[in-house]
Structure 1
Amino acid sequence: MKKIIIGENIVKSFRKLNEEHNVLNGVSVEINKGEFVSLMGPSGSGKSTLMFALSGMDVVNSGRVIINGKDLATASENELSDIRRKTMGFVFQQPTMLKNLNILDNIILPSVRDNQKNKTEIVKKAKSIMKRVGITGLEDRDITEVSGGQLQRAGICRALMNNPEIIFGDEPTGSLNSQSSQEMMDLFSEINNNCTAVMLVTHDAKVAARTERILFMRDGEIISECRLPKFEAKDMDDRVEEVMVKMREIGI
C-alpha cells in the first residue's frame, strides 16, 4: 500500500523559562493511502503537535517527515507550500474564515489565489462540493449567518477543493452538538470512502470509534494503537466500548 506520510523518530521541543521541553519524544508513524486514522490522548500529550509535524505545518527538531517520498527537511518554502496545497486539506475546530467574505468566496479563496485564470471552473467545483456536503444555498451568506455545523461543512468544502490525498482534522467536532458531530463524521466517512486518507485529532471516543486505526498518545509518545473494521452503523456501540476499554487499559 502506498505510504503518503512517513514520520521517523520525530522530536519536537519548545523552550519555556529557558528550558527545553519535549512535546514529541522520537515518534515514528506511517499514514497509508486511504487510511482513516485518529489520534487520542490527554491534553498536552502531543496529538496536535504530531499532526502539525506530519503535515509540514511545523518544523521538527530532529527526525524526518517524508511526504510522497520527499523529505521535508530538504524542501524549500515553495516546495513545502506546494506539498501542503496539492496533497493536504485541513479542517480545524474553529474554521478560519474571513469575515469580509461570504461562504462561497471563503471556500474558493485559496484556489483562486493559486489560479486566477480559471475562476469560473473553480466556482463551479466549489458549488458541486457544497451540494455534496449539504450546504447548497448558503453561497452568499456571511459567516455570521450560518450555524457552527454549516460553517464546519464550508471548511470541509475548502479542504476538498484541490483533491487532497489526505485530510487533517484538529478536533473538528469539538465545538459541535451531538447531531452535528455525527453528521460531520458521516462526511469524513464519505470522504474516506472515496480513497482520501483522513487523520483526526480528538478527545471523543465516539469520533475515534468511527475511524479504523486509533493511535493513543501520552507524554509525547504513541503508546498503543487499536484497529477496527470498516465502520457500520449497527456496530457503533460495540466500537465505542472497544475504544473505551482500550483507553482504560492504558490509563488515558
Structure 2
Amino acid sequence: MKLVSGKQIAKSFQVGDEQYNVLMNISVTINKGEFVAIMGPSGCGKSTLLYALSGMDTIDHGQVIFDGMDLASLRDNELADLRRTRMGFVFQQPTFLKNLNILDNILLPAMRDQRKNVSILTDKALSIMEKMGIADLAKRDLTQVSGGQLQRAGICRALISDPLMIFGDEPTGALNSTSAQEIMDLFTVINSEGTTIMLVTHDPKIAARTERILFMCDGAIVNELRLPTFTGIDLDDRMAKVVATMREIGI
C-alpha cells in the first residue's frame, strides 16, 4: 500500500546566470512498511529528493502525495503539523536546544500539542528511551553524552509522535562504525514494528541493511536493488550486491 508517491518531481536552483537541475522529473513510490535507502555521489540530489518527499522543500513541478494528501495543497501550518505528527526526522547532526536536557529535548515536538498530558508524554518518552538504551541519560545535558547516544536521542525524538515514516539524512554519517551499526540495529527494529523508513547514505554497509536501494546520479534514479529482509548473518553478501550495482552504474 502506497505511503508516499512522487510524480515527475523536478527541482532546480539558480546561482547567478547558471541554473542547476537537481531533480530531473523523478517518479518514485514508497510503500507502507518499506525500509529504503537512497545512494549516489555527492551532489546527485539524494537529500533534495528526501526533502521533497517529506515536504521540507518545495518543488518546481510535479506532485508529492503523502498518506493520501497532496503536499502542495496544504497551507504552511498544515504541512508543519503533518511533519510533526506523521513524520519523524533524523539528521547527521542532531539539532537540540542546549538549555534543555536530553529528555526535554525529546519531549519538545510533542509538547506543542496542548491536548496531550505531560505526565503521559513523559512516561512515553522514557519508555522509548529505555527501548533505545538511553533511559539513564534522561536528565543529562547535551555535553554529557556521546555522539552515538545523541543520535539515539534523535531517534527517540523522531518516534515520540508515533510517525508513519522516518526520514533520515545520513543519520550514521558522523558516527564510528560500531555506533553506526548500533543505530542501524535500532532502525531495523523500528521498521520491523511497522514504521516506514527512508535513509540517505553514501555507505554501502548502511544501505545493505535496508530492503530497497534507489541509486541516483545527476538528479535521476538510475537503478534499484531489492534485498530480502536482513537476517543479521548475510551482511557481506548484501554489501557485495550493493557495491556491484554501484560499479555497474559508475558511482
TM range (shorter): over 0.9
Q: Confirm or deny that 1:166 pairs with 2:168.
A: no
Q: Confirm or deny that 1:209 pairs with 2:223.
A: no
Corresponding residue for residue 36 of structure 1? 35
Equivalents in 2 of 1:110, 1:37: separation in Å?
Answer: 25
Corresponding residue for residue 189 of structure 1? 188
Corresponding residue for residue 65 of structure 1? 64
Moved over 6 A (4+): none
Equivalents in 2 of 1:62, 1:225: separation in Å?
Answer: 24
Corresponding residue for residue 156 of structure 1? 155
How far does residue 43 in structure 1 lie from its aligned partner after superposition? 0.2
- Whichever residue aligns with residue 150 of structure 1, its letter is Q
How far does residue 234 in structure 1 lie from its aligned partner after superposition? 1.2
Question: Unmatched 5+ residue regions in structure 2?
Answer: none
Corresponding residue for residue 14 of structure 1? 13
Corresponding residue for residue 95 of structure 1? 94
Q: Secondary structure at the match of 1:229?
A: coil
How far does residue 19 in structure 1 lie from its aligned partner after superposition? 2.6
Q: Secondary structure at the match of 1:234?
A: coil
Equivalents in 2 of 1:42, 1:60: separation in Å?
Answer: 21
Q: Confirm or deny that 1:180 pairs with 2:179.
A: yes
Q: TM-score, normalised by structure 2?
A: 0.98
Deviates most, 30-39 or 11-20? 11-20
Equivalents in 2 of 1:56, 1:248: separation in Å?
Answer: 32
Question: Unmatched 5+ residue regions in structure 1?
Answer: none
- Whichever residue aligns with residue 103 of structure 1, its letter is I
- Whichever residue aligns with residue 217 of structure 1, its letter is M
How far does residue 166 in structure 1 lie from its aligned partner after superposition? 0.6
- Whichever residue aligns with residue 67 of structure 1, its letter is F
Equivalents in 2 of 1:91, 1:45: separation in Å?
Answer: 20
Q: Confirm or deny that 1:82 pairs with 2:81.
A: yes
Deviations 1:161-210 (A, max 9, x none): 01111100000000111110110000000000001000000000000000
CA RMSD across the alignment: 0.9
Corresponding residue for residue 117 of structure 2? 118
Equivalents in 2 of 1:204, 1:79: separation in Å?
Answer: 34
Give the 3 Å change call, closer, same or farther, for CA 183–117 of structure 1 in structure 2.
closer
Deviates most, 199-208 or 18-27? 18-27
Q: Secondary structure at the match of 2:103?
A: helix
Corresponding residue for residue 227 of structure 2? 228
Corresponding residue for residue 25 of structure 2? 26
Deviates most, 29-38 or 82-91? 82-91
Corresponding residue for residue 142 of structure 2? 143
How far does residue 117 in structure 1 lie from its aligned partner after superposition? 5.0
Q: Secondary structure at the match of 2:78?
A: helix
Q: TM-score, normalised by structure 1?
A: 0.98
Equivalents in 2 of 1:149, 1:198: separation in Å?
Answer: 19
Q: Secondary structure at the match of 1:224?
A: strand
Deviations 1:129-183 (A, max 9, x none): 0000000110110011100000000000000001111100000000111110110
Equivalents in 1 of 2:199, 2:153: separation in Å?
Answer: 17
Deviates most, 29-38 or 81-90? 81-90
How far does residue 219 in structure 1 lie from its aligned partner after superposition? 0.3
Equivalents in 2 of 1:93, 1:42: separation in Å?
Answer: 17
